Structure 1
Amino acid sequence: MSKTESIVRVGVAYVLAFAAAGAWLAWGPETAYLWLDGLIADLIATAVVFAASRIHKNSSFYDAYWSVLPPLLMVAWWLEIGTGGDQVRAWLVLGVIVFWSIRLTGNWLYAFPGLHHEDWRYPMIRARAGKAEAVADLVGVHVVPTLQVFAGMVPVYVVLTNTDRGIGWLDVVALAVGVGAVVLSFAADLQMYRFAAHCSPGQAMAAGLWSWSRHPNYFGEFAFWLALGLFGLAAAPQDWWWVFIGAVAMYAMFQGASIPMMEQRSLERRPDYQDVIDRVPRFVPRPPRKQRQSVA
């Protein structure tokens, strides 16, 4: 199947998914909480994407859902809540989210080879589950990431429902962190693509941003969700205890799952990657350690 046909099929699945979610929001039974209505609609859309994944025997159908859903969810909430009060902060948040969404979705469009390819982690997750592979596929590959992204959108809901506080210095910090995070991730991905196009088999990347962090793209992704938390804190300081739940969830995912899996794979495929681990910081960018000189 060609890349173009694959993208069309993924696009059709997303249209059907968001149509199902929109139908639920428009005509389904409402709960007492708008955020809960949004979560149910999000899970309905996820279920449609999961069905497409199973039909095509490829869970990479879900990959772009991560970046397409957030701006649509924010707009759906905003339309339902209305435009009362000071909306400058909401526009800033939407701008950062759209900027991030375009960058990440564009990265997927560029890197996605087609539905003949599937992310190497998904078959491993299914294989480990044995007879429960369908459950592992639904929960581990589709539902858990959806819940993580929804948790990351909690401060957006806080911003939309708290419009009595004007713009302040914390909003400026949040904007700078959010934009900087997207630029950092874009630069890291671009450097990796250029390296991959010319590197020798088994060679490890440790130049540019990748010499300051072994996973600068993950750090940039975490920083984006942290920025949304900062916007939420600026809108409602009294909600400090829960506006960072999404950023914490992302950090836990990267440190507890994504990074260990990626590093184990790199150690198996790249003989010099242990040297990278010894010199280059794991997550937060900082100058690398100096390489030790052997004594003759």
Structure 2
Amino acid sequence: MSSFLVASGVALLTAALVMTLAALRARQLGRVAVVDVAWGLGFVAVAVVMTAVGTASEGNGPRRWVVLAMVGAWGLRLAWHIRRRALGDHQGKEDPRYEELLGGPLSQVGMGVAVRKVFLVQGFAVWFISIPLQVAAVSDVASWAVVVLGIAVWLLGWIFETVGDAQLAAYKADPDRGPVMDRGLWAWTRHPNYFGDACIWWGLFLAGAAASGWWGLLAVVSPLAMTYFLLFATGARLLERTMMKRPGYPEYAARTSMFFPLPPRRSGAVPASR
């Protein structure tokens, strides 16, 4: 347990450093939205540091590198995707979500408000969600079967997140697109990227914590918290409030599962797009 406390403390310091750098960059650019890029990079940084911590502890070597590869592949792709999307969607301007959260542009509310409402919260979230990585750094593998299961769940999430993002980008680039994206994975779930993100962290929990024995099961608070935020707090439910105002979206919602992928329901509604 003492090894875990050390790893957890180091993870907290790492998350704080990443968000401090992100805050400094936000001040330089005048945009808080840089924190979205720092989100994925923060987990990669924690995973790298946890691997280093684990090297000096009793943690299982092969599993540490597997977890690092999983986090690295997910976090780096997400950071790259969000940065590219932000440059295209907002063209160097602040994300409207953050202006609403802060109560105005960063230049008006000041960095103190941004640090308190955004960077501190995000830094704590990175530390809390990364608990399975902290467990994996200082523990041996009790069941490689659970590790393999975790990799399979992670891979499912990776496919939904990457393919869903690619399909959405192709939809936006199509001049003949309909009013609502309902193609590919989006015909089975209205939020394939959010579902994929949840699977990523359930997979990391299984491979990194649950496979370590009974005490690692306590880290279930991490994927539970991530799933809650993706589904109810800042993810799907919040986005649905805006999307329901878009023409064709209520009909799309009537035939398509909101989160868990399910076959499209048959209804008498007119299809929202071709």
- TM bracket (short chain): 0.7 to 0.9
Shift of 1:181: 1.0
Unaligned runs of 5+ in 2: none
**Equivalent residues of 1:212, 1:280 under 8 A apart:** yes
Distance 1:260 1:135 in 2: 29
Q: Kindly report structure 1 stretches of 4+ aligned residues shifted beyond 3 Å.
A: 83-86, 131-136, 199-202
Find the residue that maps to 1:58 and give its secondary structure. coil
1:211 aligns with 2:182: no
**In the alignment, what sits opposite 2:252?**
276
Mapped contact 2:132–2:204 kept (Cα < 8 A): yes
Counterpart CA distance in 2 for 1:107 and 1:38 is 24
Contact kept? 1:126, 1:134, Cα under 8 Å: no
Match of 2:12 in 1: 39
* Alignment deviations for residues 249-277 of structure 1 (CA, whole Å, 9 cap, x no partner): 21121222222332222233x21111112
Moved more, 96-105 or 131-140: 131-140
Q: Residue 106 in 1 paired to residue 80 in 2?
A: yes
RMSD of the alignment, in Å? 2.6
Which residue is equivalent to 1:226? 202
For residues 222-249 of structure 1, the C-alpha deviation after alignment (integer angstroms, 9 at most, x for no partner) is 11111111121111322313x1222112
Report 1:41-60 matches (<5 A).
41-60=14-33
Q: C-alpha distance in 1, partners of 2:17/2:195?
A: 30
- 1:139-168 Cα shifts (integer Å, max 9, x gaps): 3332222222222211111111112x3552
Say if 2:60 is the partner of 1:86.
yes
Matching residue's letter, 2:234: A
Query: For 1:161 and 1:85, how far apart are their aligned partners in 2?
Result: 4
Aligned equivalents of 1:133 and 1:284: distance in 2?
40
Inter-CA distance 218–116: structure 2 relative to 1 (3 Å threshold):
same
Amino acid at match of 2:161: S
Tell me if structure 1 keeps the 8 A contact 2:59–2:137.
no
Preserved CA contact (<8 Å) 1:150 1:246? no
Secondary structure of residue in 2 paired with 1:41: helix
Task: Tell me how far 1:279 sits from its aligned partner.
Answer: 1.3
- Identity percentage of aligned residues: 22
1:65 maps to what in 2? 38
Superimposed CA distance per residue, residues 196-235 of structure 1 (whole angstroms, 9 cap, x where no aligned partner): 1115688111111011111010110111111111121111
Matched, 1:288 2:261: no
Residue 265 (structure 1) aligned to one of 211, 227, 242: 242
Distance 2:80 2:33 in 1: 15
Q: Find the aligned partners of 1:256 and 1:93 in 2 and give their Cα distance.
A: 27
Given the two structures, how large is their TM-score scaled by the length of structure 2? 0.84
TM-score by length of 1: 0.79
Q: 1:88-147 deviations in whole A, cap 9, x for unaligned?
A: 211211121122123212312432317622222111111289x97755532333222222
Cα distance 1:86–1:44, how it changes in 2: closer, same or farther (>3 A)?
closer
Secondary structure in structure 2 of the residue aligned to 1:245 = helix
Structure 2 residue identity aligned to 1:87: G
- Write the letter of the residue equivalent to 1:72: A
2: CA distance, partners of 1:41 / 1:95: 18
What is the total number of aligned residue pairs between the two structures?
260
Q: Which residue of 2 aligns with 1:177?
A: 153
Give yes or no for the alignment of 1:148 onto 2:125: yes
SS of structure 1 residue aligned to 2:33: helix
1:240 matched residue in structure 2: 217
User: What whole-Å deviation, never above 9, does each CA across 1:11-49 have from its counterpart, x for those lacking one?
Assistant: xxxxxxxxxxxxxxxxxxxxx733123203322331232
Shift of 1:82: 2.3
- Unmatched runs of 5 consecutive residues or more in structure 1: 1-31
8 A Cα contact 1:168 1:234, kept in partner: yes
